[in-house]
């Protein structure tokens, strides 16, 4: 049975895709997927696993793709990150977001595809997956503490935020479980006209908040709504 690989390419030259196509054995089938069309026409329905070629792209953009997949109905799909450069810092970050493996220039293509092949042949389920539990549906209460720009989760100790991080979280808290568009968030926080090229400012701030809240994959507190924006996944916000 052929293993279907969805190849999400962040590089501009397409050389890695061509190289992988030539390298693959007959029991692999690779399909190139536009990173902006991941959820169009159910393209991921046809794939057994996903490979993301990071290219020279900023790691935050790749994090957004990983998080979007993990928060979608394709959340259990194996994800592998590949790069033809050193990924020393990115390796830990991507693994924290739930990818199955990260391969940089220190690994061979043989190692990458043997790992993928083994993950398909011998899948491992976590206890939550075996019980059919979607941990991403959990939510909790949040308390915003304006006096020192901090936040408390479920009545536990305070977590300090920067002023900008606090303002973003406060903005999302106005309507919990409602999606705020990138444009709304940007123009509220930076008081400038929004352009898609400036989305990284929002992504970077969201990443730092998630890191402080212990929610790097965005599965619990701040969820990514693909191609739209973010929502705060809580039942109640105390002020």
Residue with tokens 């990071």: 54
Count the domains in the chain: 2
For residues 105 and 184, membership in a common domain is answered with no
Please give the residue range of the domain that contains residue 180: 142-232
For residues 105 and 154, membership in a common domain is answered with no
- 214 lies in a domain? yes
pLDDT for 198 equals 82
CATH code, domain carrying 179: 1.10.10.10
One-character DSSP codes across 87-150: -HHHHHHHHHTT-SEEE-TTS-HHHHHHHHHHHHHS----HHHHTT--GGG--EEEEEEGGGTE
Q: Closest Cα partner for 25 from 9, 51, 1, 52?
A: 1
For residues 41 and 105, membership in a common domain is answered with yes
The size of the chain, in residues, is 239
- 102 lies in a domain? yes
For residues 108 and 153, membership in a common domain is answered with no
Average pLDDT, the chain: 80
Give the global pTM: 0.52
- 203 lies in a domain? yes
- pLDDT tens, 39-55? 877 788 888 889 998 87
Structure tokens at 80: 């592998």
For residues 110 and 159, membership in a common domain is answered with no
- 54 lies in a domain? yes
CATH code, domain carrying 8: 3.40.50.2300
- The answer for 102, left when phi > 0, alpha when psi is -120 to 50, beta otherwise, is beta
Q: Closest Cα partner for 182 from 94, 74, 174, 190?
A: 190
- 138 has a pLDDT exceeding 60: no
- pLDDT tens, 162-206? 999 999 999 999 998 899 999 999 999 999 998 877 888 888 899
State the Cα–Cα distance between residues 138 and 100, nearest whole angstrom: 23
State the Cα–Cα distance between residues 193 and 27, nearest whole angstrom: 50
């Amino acid at each position: 049975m052929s293993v279907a690989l969805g190849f999400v390419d962040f590089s501009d030259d397409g050389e890695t895709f061509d190289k992988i196509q030539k390298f693959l054995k007959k029991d692999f089938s690779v399909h190139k997927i536009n990173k902006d069309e991941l959820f169009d026409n159910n393209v991921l329905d046809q794939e057994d696993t996903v490979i993301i070629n990071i290219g020279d792209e900023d790691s935050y953009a790749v994090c957004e793709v990983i998080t979007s997949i993990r928060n979608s109905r394709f959340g259990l799909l194996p994800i592998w990150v590949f790069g033809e450069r050193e990924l020393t810092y990115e390796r830990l970050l991507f693994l924290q977001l739930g990818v199955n493996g990260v391969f940089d220039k220190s690994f061979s293509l043989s190692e990458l595809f043997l790992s993928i092949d083994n993950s398909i042949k011998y899948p491992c389920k976590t206890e939550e997956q075996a019980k059919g539990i979607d941990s991403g549906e959990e939510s909790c209460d949040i308390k915003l503490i304006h006096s020192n720009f901090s936040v408390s989760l479920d009545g536990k100790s305070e977590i300090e935020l920067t002023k900008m991080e606090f303002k973003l979280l406060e903005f999302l808290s106005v309507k919990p479980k409602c999606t705020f568009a990138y444009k709304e968030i940007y123009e509220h926080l930076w008081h400038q006209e929004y352009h898609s090229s400036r989305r990284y400012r929002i992504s970077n701030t969201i990443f730092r908040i998630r890191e402080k809240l212990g929610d790097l994959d965005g599965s619990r507190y701040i969820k990514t709504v693909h191609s739209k924006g973010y929502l705060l996944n809580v039942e109640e916000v105390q002020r």
